A = this chain, B = another copy of it.
């Protein structure tokens, strides 16, 4: 196993991963799990790729809102269009800080703007828009394509698990159809194994296509994550990986198995690679029982893929 995770250092965390996989794949051992029940679920932003200085989806949305404000100047005085058009992120940063503090007074404005960006659009049109973004956009501080800000050690973990009979899923608060192209391209996780936040959808019989409704259908975070995992898989995962408080119910859900591995990526890295250390939004997760913490600083020898 020891050459399976080359970007990981030889630490207790890596040993815990190897021990877990050895235990659940040992047909003669007490912790054996049949392959079809080897379900592993991964949060995305901050767990499999960087979420700083902002989640990639927010970068995409800001570009959409900026274009919307240019096309309709009446939007320019309202948030979040004003922020997008001016590039002044102070309102947005404050709104996100208030969200982490439990105050979602601004969330309605954001959700309405998210919904407005895709309402009426067909799933194929949206896919084309998202594909163009992934081709053109550059990470806001590193200046690299977003494919270069995935966490190489986690991609290796996904491959290692799949090589041991696991089925991997993305279970993220990110919008499902925004994630699908990048999870396939960067993690090798196909569209049908992506669980995320969903916009409303309707079947438009006239054009024989599926279109987004201008509303959020569900937000795949916190207690919604175990629900969405069940809906999609009909199983309780044996491995879950996250990085924030919103992942705690999913981590606990996995821990309900006789043997499980609950992983938490801890952003204690201070190497200036666009991932300045942060614990904000992860306080409860770091304090949760039975979690195996992945230290970005100590457990990973390399964070991003070699260009």
B256 touches A198 (CB 8 A): no
Known contacts A180-B234, A190-B36, A235-B192; A256 and B201 CB within 8 A of each other: no
Q: Which of A51-59, A76-84, A222-230, A296-304 lies at the interface with chain B?
A: A222-230
Q: Nearest chain B CB to A69's CB is how many angstroms away?
A: 30
Known contacts A191-B235, A234-B194; A223 and B201 CB within 8 A of each other: no
A33: CB under 8 A from chain B? no
Report B-chain residues with C-beta under 8 Å of the C-beta of A177.
Answer: 234
**Is chain A's binding surface mostly helix, strand, loop or mixed?**
helix
A66: CB under 8 A from chain B? no
A49: CB under 8 A from chain B? no
B256 touches A208 (CB 8 A): yes
- CB < 8 Å neighbour of A223 from B205, B249, B256: B205
Closest to A181 in B: B234
Closest to A39 in B: B192
A202: CB under 8 A from chain B? yes
B226 touches A210 (CB 8 A): yes
B201 touches A253 (CB 8 A): no
Known contacts A208-B252, A256-B209; A232 and B192 CB within 8 A of each other: yes
A243: CB under 8 A from chain B? no
Q: Counting chain B CB atoms within 10 Å of each CB, which of A194, A202, A203, A205 scores highest?
A: A203
Interface membership of chain A positions 187-230, coded 1 if the CB is closer than 8 angstroms to chain B and 0 otherwise = 00011101000100111010011100000000000011111001
What are 6 A-B contacts defined by CB distance under 8 Å?
A192-B234, A202-B227, A203-B226, A205-B223, A210-B230, A210-B253
